[in-house]
Structure 1
């Protein structure tokens, strides 16, 4: 048999094995719930791959270059092999192109190999250490095959040996892909990852609303109580788990993992893969959940108590650092909340003070169990009108849960001073303001969230206002991004955005001789990562003559304060406290003051014991620079 015919046979054998493997994997995905998908997403794969996915990959220039070379070269080799040998064209021009693509792939594989020689600790090992060798073998085999096809009889007696080497390289290297999808090897991500881009559970990522979440309201009347077993996930979410490349970027970004709490987001996704395939988990060769042994699971069995320990589930702060860093665009946080929903709604077993907080929300509409009439006691001497039903205000201030905290009341008073100094007509709801439901939703109590959201929307319908302003990023996110699914659409801004606009328009009377100071700034997760707002606070600081020394983890990479997702209530122990680690980040800048723009961040950083930087709210800094009337 001549080499071209052997290559044709090898190509179709590989295609058949790949198809069988894909069918086997697809059968595992189809165990999940139905999901509405648009098949047109298949045509969007190139754009989502080269733009959306590579936008994340490009944050690491080295691996971006390696990925472009090895993946681009491999795709080109396969496409050219399909045309030239699969269709039996045997055109020399295509062999030339295949040789160039093989060289490109070989260069990329060498880069991948060099990364594996001194790997960062976040990378999984095991079968993933084999991958560079398989890629090199395939590239060498493809290159040799192209050279032999172009050389004709010029190589003489060496041609037969080289042909055998080419076929061996293509066979051994190609087996990684052809068999990997069906056997669950590393290269399953190549197929699953592309399909994941087409059928992503949160299609809004690829449109204008990249800051949404996939926490769709549950149909509680239809007994939809979240996810208990792997098969309770939608099939396209099971597919998304298989897209994971175990790079560990989520692991390196996770505050809970850094604190030694029993959560590793990479391992969490691999736990779901293990459950999907009903495995024993022993094939995982990455870092575990701290303090936890490897576990197996079954697609039809409960995840909690099997694949996952209870404390792992409650360690997540929902800060979304994992989602922000994932090059495969996997949604870890939505997975966690889906699991919490089932536990909370069916068993009600939320650890530590989490259950108490939920009970308070149900009984009093406040997390701390305070009387609603006390929410605006701090404003009694500020002449802020309480809006009555039917009345109108330009700006409605929603203070949120922070209004009950004596420390944060200073920040709220400063905010009122700033807004009034700018001439804004503001009003509050007084005791009519309920909780927005953010904490209830993150702790999995979707029933209480929907009740609180309905109460908030029903309340707001009785008032007339142009805008809503709030200093609470969690309340801001709920009303801006989660209430629309329930029928509530509001023009709401975070107070940093409003103050930045006022400074831009020179509506604030500032002292001309204010001393220039240096601070650092802590970006709240629900303002930065959830809503993409990192610029407005910095515009405020610049506008009032304050220089910001940035922490290493700032902006979209900011480290969580440790409050989000109810973590300050579930309080799962670790080796360190997350706010202590964040204060270490502050100390590393040398700044004596850290500015915050969230009541929860204020409380967490103020709670750090020992010598630390002064914690000052953004509005307080602005108020201190106002010309006093």
Structure 2
């Protein structure tokens, strides 16, 4: 009887899955066009899954092994079940391979079931709670049904009742794992996820045969000259089709939720919920069926939308409230942790662009800051001619007078902040101690445009960027050095689309190079216990974790790490225009970060970003650790008794 029922069930499930796949693809194709290499993308899926994606999954060792056993077992079991039971080819080794695959899948499903007994708060529940049962029903049903096919049991073992029960178990599993893969449910992520890897919006994130994939973290420019192109994203259908595909790939594991600083602070943002809201909008409906953590302070079931309706409405029901989008610090922790490589930050900035460019709805001081950038080229509205007032006694060499230098020192808008002026003075002292040939733009320098772009004002960003690019084109230099990771990131990764391609170094990287080359002499440190805070735009955005720590080690400090450091560093709360939009929560993000510092017992926290300095020094606490930039620490440790060196002269002589 099984030899009749199983082929019917298997091919019926496959046919229904194919129909569902067409329906799912139509939902994705509601989005804007986005050209992708179809054949090359599909061919790259195995490598992208096994190398690029699975190393993120492997951060949780138990779940990584569980995923290999369950997912790998299912794929093998389903393929072999089609051959063995669907086509009746059980001869030889095929039937035994099917037994092994289904047994492996069953073992994996036991670990999934264990995970779901008392799941972490970040895991979505609802339909996901039935998934272990479906996995076990399919794997166990296929295993037992295959025993007669390989001769372990007689063909009619158990009679028709057992055959019907086995068929029912297999049908249950097929409904969840195959039919549900394209029609909706927990396994939807498997179908969408595989295609998401093939047609990812940022294909450059993946490895190639030539070596590891490079970081792709720069925002993509809007074509402001195209009158037909949308200014940001107003409706779900305004996303590109492969962005919609990416949202559908979400496995609702909640890793993004667990690391989101805004969610932890009680602000109305949960990146997992945001992605699921975009899925709701793509298909149409409400968020009432969502079974995970809500946005803090907002109930589930109050939001709804459709593919062509506004994501954020000025009045009435919408998919998302504006304050959810403005809570994001763009720290990219969610993207770093996502095992499906979903680009949450891109989506948030795309939606901000519409609110800012079309509606002018930038909250709190946002509009004022953008007006200042347009009028004075800096967010504080300061006199653009006063950029070098802080350095009147330093006699900084100007590019306008020199025409060329080995290093162009990009000062950033920290020149208008008294606290950051101390960092800049320290950096200048270090560069001069090393004999570096450097110059500054002075009053020719404008804001890099980072704040404008993160607030969604693409027009102001491009205006600032193009003017800076035109200025830089007048001069010759080997590289740009800056102590601001935000300017570093924009200059290195986002000016290129507009024609500005430069070698850019963060000052910690450059100082480390000077130390390794022997251009700086340092005295023994007396700083004691020091911890280092990784700036998001230096670490997660640009992968620089080693150089700042190497500088601290060269200083001879006792370096201790926070529980959340490196790629899992907690944001200071200063990125993405968050201090400007200032969405309230239950606690402040920098307070949480300083608690992380306190747990290490460090007396001093070393930083490498003006925003981080401002946010962490703004924490009010009696026993707060001292906050100092790496440049200040190095400047304080310089051995001024050592002979001064002229790096430019020596380099020229060596070259000769």
Return the TM-score normalized by structure 2: 0.94
Alignment partner of 1:377 is 2:389: yes
| Per-residue deviation, residues 217-242 of structure 1 (Å, max 9, x unmatched) | 11122243010000001111101101
Q: Which residue pairs with 2:652 in the alignment? A: none
- TM alignment of 1:113-152, pairs within 5 A: 113-151=113-151
Q: Is the 8 A contact 2:312 2:320 kept in 1?
A: yes
Shift of 1:386: 1.2
- Do the aligned partners of 2:204 and 2:216 also contact (CA within 8 Å) in 1? yes
Q: Does 2:612 match 1:604?
A: no
Q: SS at the partner of 1:179?
A: helix
Task: For residue 519 of structure 1, give the secondary structure of its aligned residue in structure 2.
Answer: strand
2:6 corresponds to = 7
- Given that residues 4 and 149 in structure 1 are in contact (C-alpha distance below 8 angstroms), is that contact kept between their aligned partners in structure 2? no
Match of 1:497, SS state, is: helix
Correspondences of 1:78-227 after superposition (within 5 Å): 78-151=78-151, 154=154, 157-207=157-207, 210-213=214-217, 215-223=219-227, 224-227=230-233
Distance 2:322 2:358 in 1: 15
Look up the match of 2:577.
566
Q: Offset at 1:8?
A: 2.1
Cα distance, 1:516 vs structure 2: 5.8
- Matched with 1:296 is 304
How far off is 1:372 after superposition? Answer: 2.1
Q: Give the CA deviation at 1:6.
A: 2.8
CA contact (8 A) 2:182 2:191 kept: no
Q: Confirm whether residue 544 of structure 1 aligns to residue 555 of structure 2.
A: yes
Q: Is the Cα–Cα contact under 8 Å of residues 4 and 90 in structure 1 kept in the other structure?
A: no
Indicate the residue corresponding to 2:654 in structure 1.
none
The yes-or-no answer on 1:458 pairing with 2:470 is: yes
Q: CA deviation at 1:379?
A: 2.0
Residue of structure 2 equivalent to 1:520: 531
Secondary structure of the residue aligned to 2:119 is coil
**8 Å CA contact 1:397, 1:426 repeated in 2:** yes
How many residue pairs get aligned? The number is 627
SS of the aligned residue for 1:624 comes to: helix
Find the counterpart in structure 1 of residue 498 from structure 2. 486
Corresponding residue for residue 232 of structure 1:
238
Q: Distance in 1 between matches of 2:310 and 2:604?
A: 47
Do the aligned residues in 2 keep the contact of 1:144 with 1:163 (CA within 8 Å)? no
Q: Which residue of the partner structure matches residue 36 of structure 1?
A: 35
Report the CA distance between 1:403 and its aligned residue. 1.5
Match of residue 457 from structure 2: 445
Give the 5 Å matches for 1:197-596.
197-207=197-207, 210-213=214-217, 215-223=219-227, 224-294=230-300, 295-305=303-313, 306-388=318-400, 391-511=403-523, 513-515=524-526, 517-596=528-607
1-side partners of 2:330 and 2:348: how far apart? 8
- TM-superposed deviation, 1:383: 2.9
- Find the aligned partners of 1:462 and 1:239 in 2 and give their Cα distance: 44
Distance 1:385 1:427 in 2: 5
Tell me whether 213-222 or 588-597 shows the greater mean CA deviation: 213-222
Shift of 1:249: 0.4
Task: Work out the CA distance in 2 between the residues paired with 1:447 and 1:584.
Answer: 39
Q: Deviations 1:26-68 (Å, cap 9, x if unpaired)?
A: 1111111111011110010000011111010000011101101
Contact preservation (8 Å) 1:18, 1:177: no
In structure 2, C-alpha distance between the alignment counterparts of 1:153 and 1:254, rounded to whole Å:
54
Which range moved further: 257-266 or 541-550? 541-550
Deviations 1:174-208 (A, max 9, x none): 10023313432111111000000000111111145
Q: CA deviation at 1:380?
A: 2.0
User: 1:68, 1:259 → 2: CA distance?
Assistant: 34
Q: Deviations over 1:388-446 (max 9, x none)?
A: 16711111100101111101111111111111111111111111100110011100000
- CA distance in 2 between counterparts of 1:560 and 1:152 reads 59
Q: Deviations over 1:534-564 (max 9, x none)?
A: 0000000011112211000101101111111
Q: Deviation of residue 475 (structure 1)?
A: 0.5
Task: Tell me if the contact between 2:235 and 2:311 (Cα under 8 Å) persists in the aligned partners.
Answer: yes
| TM superposition shift of 1:87 | 3.7
Task: Kindly indicate whether residue 28 of structure 2 is the aligned counterpart of residue 20 of structure 1.
Answer: no
**TM-score using structure 1 length:** 0.97
Question: 1: CA distance between counterparts of 2:424 and 2:600?
Answer: 27
Could you tell me how far 1:100 is from its partner in structure 2? Answer: 0.5
Query: Shift of residue 92 of structure 1?
Result: 4.2
CA contact (8 A) 1:390 1:462 kept: no
Q: Aligned equivalents of 1:46 and 1:130: distance in 2?
A: 28
For residue 627 of structure 2, the aligned residue among 610, 615, 624 is: 615
Q: Work out the CA distance in 1 between the residues paired with 2:391 and 2:162.
A: 84
Structure 2 runs not aligned, ≥5 long: 642-656
Q: What's the C-alpha RMSD, in Å, of the aligned pairs?
A: 1.4
What SS does the corresponding residue of 2:379 show, helix, strand or coil?
A: coil
Partner SS, residue 531 of structure 1: coil
Q: Confirm or deny: 8 A CA contact 2:236 2:307 kept in the other structure.
A: yes
Pick closer, same or farther for the CA change 1:332–1:621 going to 2, 3 Å.
same
CA–CA distance in structure 2, aligned partners of residues 136 and 85 of structure 1: 19
Say whether the 8 Å CA contact 1:473–1:524 is kept in structure 2: yes
